Chain A
Amino acid sequence: MSRYTDLIVGSVFAVIALIYFGMSFNIQEAGVTQMGPAFVPRVIAGMTFLLSIILIANSVGALKHAEIQPAGAEDRANEEKPHYVPVVLTAVLLLAYVMLLEPMGFIASTIVYLFLQFNISAPKTRKGLKHQGYFLAGAVVATVAINTLFVTGFNVMLPQGIWE
Chain B
Amino acid sequence: MDKPAASKVINMERIREIVMECGGHKWALIPVIQKIQNEFGYIPPEAIHVIAIGLKIFPSQVQGVISFYAQFYTKPRGRQVITVCRGTACHVRGGESLLEMLENGLGIKEGETTADMEYSLETVACIGVCALAPNVVIGKEVYGKMDTQKIEQLLKKGEA
| A associates with B | no
